[in-house]
Structure 1
Amino acid sequence: MYTLIGANQTRALRVKWALEELGVPYTQLPAAPRSAEAREHAPSGKVPVLIVDGATLTDSTAIITYLADHHNALTLKAGTLGRARQDGFTNMVLDEFDAALWTAARHSFVLPEDKRVPDVKPSLRWEFARSEELLVSQMGDGPFLMGAEFTIADIVLCHCLDWAVKAGFGVSQPRLAEYHAAMRARPAHIAARAE
């Protein structure tokens, strides 16, 4: 059984969603970032943390990649061109979407007030919208990033789109808005959002 440490309002939701998609048993300790509970398992206090057979895994993307590879689901086979393409989408979403959203969050509430630069946010919104256009131009014909197959790349993208809506960035591309609605309607996503 897996133990997930991290509240749903964090990137721990990505891991919880993957666990729900896989249908494997887990328990969740909904610890906040930098809380004593989080620091007990990760010195940085960052979440999510996944405890597997006494080992501690960190970083949401590393964790869901491990889960997908370990359970041979939610991913294309390592060493294939399809997997390389999937990894490319995953990394693009992290580099272009997650990074812009995280920088905006840092300058909104994470950094000490005297270190925040609110004037950076309009350029981040512009960059995010430009990244949406680029991603849509690379998407295939299927309902998922990889076409007909749901993968961990979809989990990362949907989580970033959730975050974008919440942060006021919005989703400007109609195809991404439809995709986002479809991903949020997945039973495992609904189950993962439940407290």
Structure 2
Amino acid sequence: MYDVIGSRASRAFRVLWLLEEIGLDYNHLAVSPGSPEALAANPSGKIPALRDGDAVLTDSTAIMTYLADKHGQFTHAPGTVARARQDALTHQILDEIDGTLWTAARHSFVLPEEHRVPAVKESLKWEYERNVARLAEALTGPFLQGETMTVADILLAHCLMWAGKAGFPDAGEKLNDYMAMMLARPACQRAAALP
């Protein structure tokens, strides 16, 4: 059984959601970054971490990719063109959406106050709006890759939810409908109900 270390109010939510989608049993340690449990799993104290037996994995996207590959769900097979496109989407979302949101969070409450530059948030909002517009154009089916839901979809839906809570620009009707469809999934609802 897996142990997921990290509160659902963090990127651990992505891992919890995927585990619920796959239907796997897991223990959830709803802890904050820097807690003793987080530090025991990851010397940086960052969350999430996943314990699989003696192995401890960090980084939400790496954990999701590992779980999807290991269980053969919510991913395309390695070495296929579909997987290369999935990986490209995943990296695009990480670089252009997640990274923008994380930089804004760092300058809002993560960094020590003397190192924050609040004015940077306006340019980040502009960048986010431009980047989500490109993703909206690429959305061809119910999911990013048509009929197949992958870890990239969980990543994007989580980022869109995060952006809304952080006061970022509206993602537009197409991505709002996509996000509503994703967040209505029973597995997402189960993960959202965790402590």
Task: Tell me if both proteins adopt one fold, taking TM over 0.5 as the criterion.
Answer: yes
1:172 is displaced (CA, Å) by 2.8
Q: State the 1:53 CA deviation.
A: 1.5
Q: CA offsets per residue over residues 135-166 of structure 1, 9 Å max, x none?
A: 112222x1001110111000100110110011
The one-letter code matched in structure 1 to 2:154 is I
The unaligned stretches of length 5 or more in structure 2 are none
- Classify the secondary structure of the residue corresponding to 2:27: strand
Letter in 1 for 2:130: R
Matched, 1:194 2:193: yes
Specify the alignment match of 2:130 in structure 1. 130
Alpha-carbon distance change, 193 to 170 in structure 1, aligned in 2, over 3 angstroms: farther
Separation in 2 of the partners of 1:107 and 1:160?
17
| Structure 2 residue aligned with 1:63 | 63
**Aligned partner letter, 2:173:** P
Structure-2 change in CA distance of 1:35 and 1:54 (3 Å): same
Q: SS of the residue aligned with 1:79?
A: coil
Deviation at 1:170, TM superposition (A): 3.9
Give the match's secondary structure for 2:28.
strand
Q: Give RMSD over aligned pairs.
A: 0.7
Q: 2:181 corresponds to which letter in structure 1? A: A
Query: Secondary structure of the equivalent of 2:3?
Result: strand
Aligned residues with identical type, % of pairs: 54
- The equivalent residue for 2:181 is 182
- Deviation above 2 Å: which 4+ runs of structure 1? none
Normalising by structure 2, report the TM-score: 0.98
Do structure 1's residue 11 and structure 2's residue 35 form an aligned pair?
A: no
User: In structure 2, what is the Cα distance between the partners aligned to 1:3 and 1:172?
Assistant: 34
- The aligned residue for residue 161 of structure 2 is 162
* 8 Å CA contact 1:161, 1:171 repeated in 2: no
**Residue-pair matches, total:** 194
Letter in 2 for 1:111: L
